[in-house]
């Protein structure tokens, strides 16, 4: 059997596939990572891929003027979804999935920064991905924008400040707002970008994260690895 081939769309050098990528490789997958916003081309065709992982970044899902490749990614995602290809979008990646599905993406009423408790909604009770994972631990969030659940998709997770934390679009097609892929090093790199922020609210949230890493990172990493393995299992199953 050939190794599963996963296309990875990376939107920032500081936002790699992390432990999700590691778990996919450990499970036997081959990753084809494209640094899209650094000018690496998207594949002309999706033949030969078993799924697409779309990662996060600091830009908005509609920042086409500064990042024209975002529109190209949204078009690729829409084409992949129509063909029934498995998709896993994380933060900006989930927002790009929502954009591709025609759902609104815009500024969140309350930004989320730090490890956050997520609620499994009743619709997740029999979801092929989340039902098998059990209650999620506190997981890292860092977003100022958010998505609405697309028409025809199923909302699966929420948090106290963000109603849309995950949706299922189709078979093995999931958009996430939270960050299952991070490790302590990735999070620490992100926090450095907020040094000197004039916002006391953001500064306070950022200052709390190092202690949260100590309390929650091990559980969050285990959850992220399990999520990645389960998504790959679903990606290789017929719809």
- Selecting among 112, 141, 181, 221, the annotated active-site residue is 181
| 114: phi then psi, degrees, rounded to nearest 5 | 115, 180
The tens digit of pLDDT for each residue in 214-232 reads 999 999 999 999 999 999 9
Q: Look up 181 and say whether it is catalytic.
A: yes
User: What's the token pair of residue 199?
Assistant: 């916002």
> pLDDT confidence of 1, banded at 50, 70, 90?
low
Classify residue 237 as exposed, middle or buried by CB count within 10 Å of its CB (0-12, 13-18, 19+). exposed
> What is the percentage of the chain residues whose pLDDT exceeds 70?
100
The first and second tokens of residue 117, run together, are 């408790």
The mean predicted confidence, pLDDT, of the chain is 96
Q: Which of 91, 112, 141, 216 is catalytic?
A: 91
Active site (annotated) includes residue 91: yes
Measure the CA angle with vertex 169, ends 165 and 172; round to 5°.
Answer: 95
Residue 175 pLDDT exceeds 80: yes
Q: Single out the residue of 83, 77, 127, 84 nearest to residue 102, CA to CA.
A: 77
Pick the catalytic residue from 143, 179, 216, 221: 179
Neighbours of 47 (CB within 10 A): 7
pLDDT tens by residue, 184-208: 999 999 999 998 898 999 999 999 9
β-bridge mates for residue 7, sequence order = 32, 52
Tell me the percentage of the chain whose pLDDT exceeds 90. 96
pTM exceeding the 0.85 threshold for the entire prediction: yes
Q: Is 67 a catalytic residue?
A: no
């Amino acid at each position: 059997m050939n190794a599963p081939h996963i296309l990875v769309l990376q939107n920032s050098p500081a936002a790699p596939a992390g432990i999700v990528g590691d778990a996919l490789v450990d499970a036997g997958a081959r990753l084809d990572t494209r640094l899209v916003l650094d000018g690496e081309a998207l594949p002309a065709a999706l033949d030969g891929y078993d799924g697409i992982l779309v990662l996060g970044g600091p830009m908005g899902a509609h920042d086409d003027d500064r990042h024209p490749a975002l529109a190209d990614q949204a078009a690729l995602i829409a084409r992949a979804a129509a063909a029934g290809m498995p998709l896993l979008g994380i933060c900006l990646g989930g927002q790009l999935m929502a954009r591709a599905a025609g759902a609104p993406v815009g500024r969140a009423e309350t930004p989320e920064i730090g490890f956050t408790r997520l609620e499994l909604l009743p619709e997740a009770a029999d979801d092929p991905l989340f039902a098998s994972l059990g209650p999620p631990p506190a997981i890292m969030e860092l977003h100022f924008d958010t998505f609405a659940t697309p028409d025809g998709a199923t909302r699966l997770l929420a948090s106290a400040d963000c109603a849309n934390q995950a949706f299922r679009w189709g078979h093995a097609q999931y958009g996430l707002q939270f960050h299952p892929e991070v490790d302590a090093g990735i999070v620490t790199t992100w926090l450095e970008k907020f040094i000197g922020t004039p916002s006391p609210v953001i500064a306070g949230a950022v200052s709390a994260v190092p202690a949260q890493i100590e309390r929650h990172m091990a559980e969050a990493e285990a959850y992220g690895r399990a999520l990645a393995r389960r998504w790959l299992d679903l990606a290789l199953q017929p719809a």
